[in-house]
Amino acid sequence: MSKYYVNKFLFTVDRNPEYLERYTKDPRTFVATWEQSIGPRLNDAEMSTVHSFTEAERTALIEHDYVALFEMGAHFFLNLTIFIGIYDEAHMLKNGPLAFQKEFAARLQHWVGKDYPSVST
Amino acid sequence: MAQLVATLASTHHPFYLKATTMPPEQQMPQAPEWKRKIEAYRETLSRTKPDILVMIGSDHFHQIFLDNCPQFLIGKAARYDATFYNEEREFGIPKYVLEGDEEMSGFMHRHLMGQDFDFAFSNELKIDHSIICPIITVRPDADLPVVPIYTNIFAPPLPSPKRFYNLGSAIRKAIDDYPSDKRVAAIGTGHLSLELGGPRQFMETGPDPVFDRQAIEWLRTGDIGAILENVDHESMARSGNATHGFLNFILMLGVAGPEDADYVDNLDLFHTMEAYFTWYPKEAAA
């Protein structure tokens, strides 16, 4: 399991409008591309060889499954903002302000009163 | 020596600008009240006529990430760009360029190192909404040089509440010892109880209204003893997964000293309790 690498995915994609658009439209292809050429990048010149996704992490990212990502300990801020970027506008047009954020919370209700999965990396 | 003229500690709600500038018919019902409160709070800074702003905030994985994550960091640059693409997208916050004060940043850095706070530093720091939100609320002309200080409230393990308080006291000493005739205001932002990306987010109130009321009372009376007795990382997590932003309030109380606040206001808003505090140094108020 690599919480760090999942967070790196969320971090690099949320901050880049082109990546975000590709992850929104075709998540399966984009996750594969990210694993090949974006995730390993340390800087313009250097590549890292040390991280990779588990099958469960890859599936959760492909499926935009923020509940699974929360339960794996992905950082709550990254896990929220990227999916607001993807879903907020459509939900707002259909169901009003904060509709996506409220649905996000509703799908995590089984965690109320429990210790949340740790976001430590 | 430089003079500390005010210490401000507030929540930073990234939607303030959007909520109060959209067409009136689309605004939330509390928008006019929110705007009035912010404008009154702004006056608590303006009346002190500061020359430099020492600003304490916390990067939200905008510039800083988990590949290289400092606990405390100071900006040392002549100029700072501000606002990242995803903050413009989500919050509608515009881009800014803030002037820096390299001389004071350098002095502050050395002084804090001398007090055993081994700060990381950055000569190319892009600032995010934790520092731009208070610019928007209390200094919207963005016309003063800043010394930006970032704390880690996001990526555990975090420094202890006591360490945050002691850092505030150390920042105060550095301001007091700065050889300059400048008037300095210290401005820090954080949160009371807050949940983001969890089951208690975006409710009618913050996730722990009891904590919120208690925290306001502690800060109003400058009761650092009660804070350190009652607040630790676990208690903050129970009050909401992003409640660790309260650590910056504790830091600002360290800057002000354990005194009654001179100005206190709050606003119960959707999903958060907003709170605004100002302390004036006793000798300056006299």
CATH code of residue B211: 3.40.830.10
Q: How many domains does chain A fold into?
A: 1
Which residue's entry shows tokens 């892009």? B126
- pLDDT band, residue A1 (cuts 50/70/90): low
Contact A116/B198, CB-based, under 8 Å? yes
CB atoms A77 and B242 under 8 Å = yes
- On whether residue A118 sits in a domain, the answer given is no
Angle, helix B246-256 to helix B161-177, in steps of 10 degrees: 40
Q: Is there a domain that residue A53 lies in?
A: yes
- Residue-averaged pLDDT of chain A: 97
In the three-class reduction of DSSP (H, G, I as helix; E, B as strand; rest coil), residue B220 is classed as helix
User: Which ranges constitute the DSSP H helices of chain B?
Assistant: 16-21, 31-46, 85-91, 102-114, 129-138, 161-177, 209-220, 224-230, 233-238, 246-256, 282-285
* Chain B residue with minimum CA distance to A114: B238
φ, ψ for residue B273, nearest 5 deg: -100, 120
Taking an 8 Å cut-off on Cβ atoms, the answer to whether A80 and B199 are in contact is: no
Q: State how beta strands B146-151 and B3-11 pair.
A: unpaired
Domain that holds residue A70: 3-111
* Residue B61 with chain A: CB contacts under 8 Å: 11, 75, 77-78
| Sign of torsion over alpha carbons B53, B225, B241, B158 | positive
Is residue A52 in a domain? Answer: yes
Instruction: Tell me how long chain A is.
Output: 121
**Integer Cα distance of B264 and B201 in angstroms:** 26
Q: Output the average pLDDT for chain B.
A: 96
Locate tokens 């932003």: which residue? Answer: B245
Residues of B in contact with A8 (CB under 8 A): 65-67
Give residue B129's domain range. 3-285
Which of B12, B89, B208, B235 best probes binding to A when mutated, by most A CB atoms within 10 angstroms?
Answer: B89
Residue A78 lies in a domain: yes
Q: Is residue A44 part of a domain?
A: yes
CA distance A27 to chain B (A): 19
ipTM of this complex > 0.85? yes
Whether B89 and A85 lie within 8 Å, measured CB to CB: yes
Specify the pTM: 0.97
B126 vs A contacts (CB less than 8 Å): none
Burial status of residue B195 (CB atoms within 10 A of its CB: 0-12, 13-18, 19 or more): buried
Which of B61, B199, B242 faces A78 most closely, judged by CB atoms?
B61
Matching residue, tokens 């010149």: A45
Instruction: Look at residue A120 and tell me if it is in a domain.
Output: no
Does residue A119 lie within any of the structural domains? no
Q: Nearest Cα to B3, choosing from B233, B166, B130, B186?
A: B186
A77-109 burial code (b ≥16 CB/10 A, e <16): bbbbbbbbbbbbeebeeeeeebbbbbebbeebe
pLDDT at B282: 85
| pLDDT digits 0-9 by tens, A71-99 | 999 999 999 999 999 999 999 999 998 99
Per-residue pLDDT of chain B (286 residues; tens, 9 = 90+): 999 999 999 999 999 999 999 999 999 999 999 999 999 999 999 999 999 999 999 999 999 999 999 999 999 999 999 999 999 999 999 999 999 999 999 999 999 999 999 999 999 999 999 999 999 999 999 999 999 999 999 999 999 999 999 999 999 999 999 999 999 999 999 999 999 999 999 998 999 999 999 999 999 999 999 999 999 999 999 999 999 999 999 999 999 999 999 999 999 998 899 999 999 998 654 4
For chain B, what is the domain count?
1
**pLDDT tens-digit map of B217-273:** 999 999 999 999 999 999 999 999 999 999 999 999 999 999 999 999 999 998 899
